[in-house]
Amino acid sequence: MPRGLTAIIVAVIITPLSTAVAEDWPYPEDTPVITPVTVGLAGEKPADIVRYLLANGALRARLSPDGSQIAFSSRITGEPQLWLVDAAGGWPRQKTYRSGISIFEWAPDSEHLAIGRDADGNERDGYFLIDLKGEQEVELLPQSDAYRQFGQFSRDGAEIVFSSTERNGRDFDIYLYDIAAGEQRRIYEGTFGFYPAAWQPGGDLLLVDETRGEDGNDVHLLNVRTGKIEPLFQPSVSAAYDGYAWTADGSAFYVTTNQDREYMGLALYDLASGTLRWVDTPDADVENVSLSGSGRYLAWTRNIDGFDKLQIRDLKQQATVEVSALPDGVYVSAFAGDSDDLLIHVSGPTSAGDVFTWRPGAAQPMHAVKASLAGLGREHFVTPEVVRFPARDGVMLQGLLYLPTLASTDATPPLVVNVHGGPTAQARPRFRPQLQYLVNTGIAVLDVNVRGSPGFGKTYARLDNQEKRLDSVRDLVDTDDYFANDERINGNRVAVMGGSYGGYMVNAVLGSFPGVFDAGVSMVGVSDWVRALQDASPGLKASARIEYGDISEHRWVEFYRENSPINNAQNIDVPLLVEHGVNDPRDPVTESDRLVQKIRENGGDVRYLRFPDEGHSLSKQPNRVAFYRAMADFLAETLQPQDRRDNL
C-alpha cells in the first residue's frame, strides 16, 4: 500500500436474514448479512483469505500533466476512493470520501481532477470536479438514468467531451460540456456505440470510436465545433483500433491496430496523406501507447502470453531505450502530458498494484506507491506457468497454471478451472488474491483462455462468434480431459468457476455436459441469452450484434432459446455457488434468480449470495470478503477426496 498506510482490517461472516428483501425474492436467507470478524494471525498456515483480500495497492493510477503528482484509486477504506501522492514519494492523501469513484482524469492544469461516481454499481456515472487539495468539489453532471463514458479535457481545460445515452436510453451521442458555463451541447448524434477517443492537441478534431462487435471498431474524425464527421477507418473485415497518441502539432497520431493482420501492431497515421506507417509489428498484441511531453520518447507494451514487456524508443536518436527491470505482470503505462516522466502501474502475481515513475535513461524507477501484501510473505504468491493444449478439433488452447507450493499435504491437488469474462477478455497474470488463496490451501488453478479470447490473434478471438458460441463451452470439457492426464493434478476433483461471461460458461457447461465437473461457482452470469440480449445495457447492445447475432432477428431468438443455460438447468447435478448484485446493469440479477429458482425446484444443491448494494462487480471490501470467504469454504468442501467422481 502507499507508504505509511496500514490496511484497515475488515472481515465478515454470513448469517441468515429473518425479513424479506426487495425485488420480491422469496429467499431472504440469500442476502448476506455483513458482520465484522477478526482476521487470522500473521504466520498462520494456511493464511486467512481475509489477508489475501486486504493485500492492497493502486487499482488505477495517473501521473499529473506536469509530472509532479500521482492520482490513484484504492479500496483501502472499503471501496474505491481517490488518493494523491507526490511523484517523488511521500505520504499519500485521501481526496474523496463519499460513495466510491468509478473513474478519474487529470485536468491540464494539474490542479484539478474530474471524477465519476455511480450508485452502488449501477454504472450510471455522475461527473464531479475536485481541486488538488480536495477542499472544493463541484458537480458537473448529476447521476441520472443515462449511461455515460468520459472522454477527456480540452487542451485548455475549459471543456470536457463525453458520450451519453440520455437522448433515447440506447444510443451513445457525443457531448461537449463547458465547465465555466455549466452547460452541455450535443455535437454528434450516434447510433449504438459512439465514444470519444482522443482530442487533437490544441485543435478541434476528435477521434471517435464506433463499436463494431466485441473486438472491433471503426474510427471517425469529428470536428467538435461544426459537428462534421468523416470516417478514417472502416475496413471490410472489422479490425480493432486503440492506443491513440497524437503528435504535439496534431498532424498525426500513433495507433494500435490489427487491420490486415492477426495481432495489434503499432502504426503512425498521417492526416494530410491519409497513410498508415507501421512502427512495430510483433506476433503479439501492442498496447499502452504513449508519447512523452517533449515528443522525444515513444512507449508501448507487448502482451506476450499475458505478461507485458515494456518498450521505449528514442525518436530523436532513433534508438531503443534500455528499460529497467520491473516486476512480472500486467502494465498500464503513460507519460505525463507535459514531461518525459513515465508512470508504470504493475498488477502481477506478487504485485497488488505497485506504481513506479521513471524517466528514460535513469538508473532505476522510483517506487512511488508500494502495495501492501497484508502481512503475507512473497512465498505465499505463485507465478503461473504458461500451458498450451489441444481442443478436440485441433484448436490450441492456452492458460496460466498456478500450482501449490506451500500447502502442507502430500496429496495431488484438485483443480479449479477459472473462466474469464468478456468474452473478449484475456486471462492474464494480474494480482488475483482469491486465486492465490486457493493455491495456498492446496488447490491448483488454471486461468484458461478458451477460443474467443483476445491476445492470440484476430482469428482465435472470433472462433466463438454467433453459431460458434457453444464451441467455447466445449473447450472447457476438453480442458478437463487434458488435465485428467496431468500427473501434477488430481483429475478426479475439478471445479469450474467464472464471472460475467465466465459465469455464463459455468452455467452452460454444467447443464450441457453433466458429469464432467464436480462443482461450479457462477458470478453475475447469464442464464437466458434471449432475455439478456434484449434487456442488455446500451453499451452491450452496441457490441453484441456481431459477437452474438442481432437478437431482433427471429433466427437468433430461436438459436438462444434452444441454447441458453436456463433450458438445461435441470441437468445441473453438482453443487453450485451463485453470486449476483441486485443493481447489475449488464446481466440483470434475474439471470441468476431464475437459474437458482429452477435448480431448487429440481432438488439441486445451489447456494446463492445476492448482494443488494452491488452491481456487476463487488466493489465494497466487506462484500468482497463475504463472497470470497464463502467461495473458499465451498470449494474446500466440494473438492474433498470423497467427492462424487472418486466414488464412481
**Cβ-count burial of 24 within 10 angstroms (0-12 exposed, 13-18 middle, 19+ buried)?**
exposed
Evaluate if residue 647 carries a pLDDT over 60.
no
Grade residue 503 by pLDDT with cuts at 50, 70 and 90: very high
Q: Classify domain 11-18+41-52+376-528+564-647 at the CATH topology level.
A: Rossmann fold (3.40.50)
CB 529 within 8 A of CB 564: yes
pLDDT in tens, 194-225: 999 999 998 999 999 998 877 889 999 999 99
Evaluate if residue 73 carries a pLDDT over 90.
yes
**The amino acid at 459:** T
Mean pLDDT across the stretch 307-311?
A: 97
pLDDT in tens, 144-195: 999 999 999 999 999 999 999 999 998 999 999 999 999 999 999 998 889 9
CB 403 within 8 A of CB 485: no
Evaluate if residue 100 carries a pLDDT over 90.
no
The closest alpha carbon to 30, from 632, 637, 627, 553, belongs to: 627
Mean pLDDT across the stretch 362-382?
A: 90
Cα 167 to Cα 537: distance, rounded to the nearest angstrom: 15
Question: What does the pLDDT read at residue 196?
Answer: 97
CB 147 within 8 A of CB 165: yes
Question: What does the pLDDT read at residue 69?
Answer: 95
Question: What does the pLDDT read at residue 488?
Answer: 93
Cα 629 to Cα 315: distance, rounded to the nearest angstrom: 50
The closest alpha carbon to 322, from 355, 282, 361, belongs to: 361
Question: What does the pLDDT read at residue 536?
Answer: 64
Evaluate if residue 447 carries a pLDDT over 60.
yes
Evaluate if residue 19 carries a pLDDT over 60.
no
Query: CB under 8 Å to 221, separation ≥6 — which residues?
Result: 205, 206, 207, 208, 229, 230, 231, 232
Evaluate if residue 109 carries a pLDDT over 90.
yes
**212-235: b or e for each residue (b if 16 or more CB lie within 10 Å)?**
bbbbbbbbbbbbbeeeebeebbee
Question: What does the pLDDT read at residue 8?
Answer: 28
Question: What does the pLDDT read at residue 551?
Answer: 66
Share of the chain above pLDDT 90, in %: 67
Sequence spans of domains, the chain: 11-18+41-52+376-528+564-647
**The amino acid at 7:** A
Q: Enter the C-alpha cell of residue 288.
A: 499502452
Evaluate if residue 18 carries a pLDDT over 50.
no
- How far the first Cα of the chain sits from its last, in Å, is 48
Grade residue 539 by pLDDT with cuts at 50, 70 and 90: low
Cα 138 to Cα 129: distance, rounded to the nearest angstrom: 5
Mean pLDDT across the stretch 509-533?
A: 91
Grade residue 9 by pLDDT with cuts at 50, 70 and 90: very low
pLDDT in tens, 581-615: 998 888 889 999 999 999 999 999 999 999 988 88
Q: Is the peptide bond before 365 cis (omega within 30 degrees of 0)?
A: no
Q: Enter the C-alpha cell of residue 349.
A: 502475481
Cα 343 to Cα 334: distance, rounded to the nearest angstrom: 5
pLDDT in tens, 623-634: 888 899 899 999
Question: What does the pLDDT read at residue 16?
Answer: 34
Question: What does the pLDDT read at residue 642?
Answer: 47
pLDDT in tens, 250-293: 999 999 999 999 999 999 999 999 999 999 999 999 999 999 99
The closest alpha carbon to 524, from 589, 576, 480, belongs to: 589
Mean pLDDT across the stretch 441-456?
A: 94
